Amino acid sequence: MSNANKDLMQRWFDQVWNDGNSAAIDEMVTDDLVIHGLTDAQGKDITGVSNFKSFHAQFRSAFPNIVVAIEDVIAEGDRVVARCRVSAKHTGDALGLAPTNADVSFTGIAIARIENGRIAEAWNNFDFMKMNQQLGIL
């Protein structure tokens, strides 16, 4: 189970984030998905596949060349943890900010709970403060 969960997490970042394959989201998550640490327009945790797809489309539109590299992955039971490095160039305005063409690089941790081979719940702690500093927001 641990290796399958590690493989799922690697596929998640490779296909969904790095390749921008939104169709892969349906294959890798449960219908009642909950993602903590990423928020909707009201500042609430993202719930459901369609809400995550909206978040994903906005973020990828702002950073179409995003690369999430997993630097460490650990799995035990139904949980898998990935320590990541994110790099991208801000070329889109989907986040309500005109493109800055700034390069961003920041780190983060993602923990996922796997249910029947799919991500059911996730906790994200990415350094969006550093990203916002690099964009000139802060």
Domains of the chain by range and CATH?
2-135 (3.10.450.50)
CA–CA dist 30, 113 (Å, integer): 11
Residue 1 pLDDT > 70? no
Question: Band of the pLDDT at 53, cuts 50, 70, 90?
Answer: very high
CA angle (128, 136, 47) in 5-degree steps:
30
Looking at per-residue confidence, does 94 or 16 come out higher? 16
Residue 94's pLDDT is what? Answer: 74
Residue 77 burial (CB count, 10 A): 10
- Res 96: pLDDT: 80
pLDDT of residue 40: 84
DSSP for residue 15: I
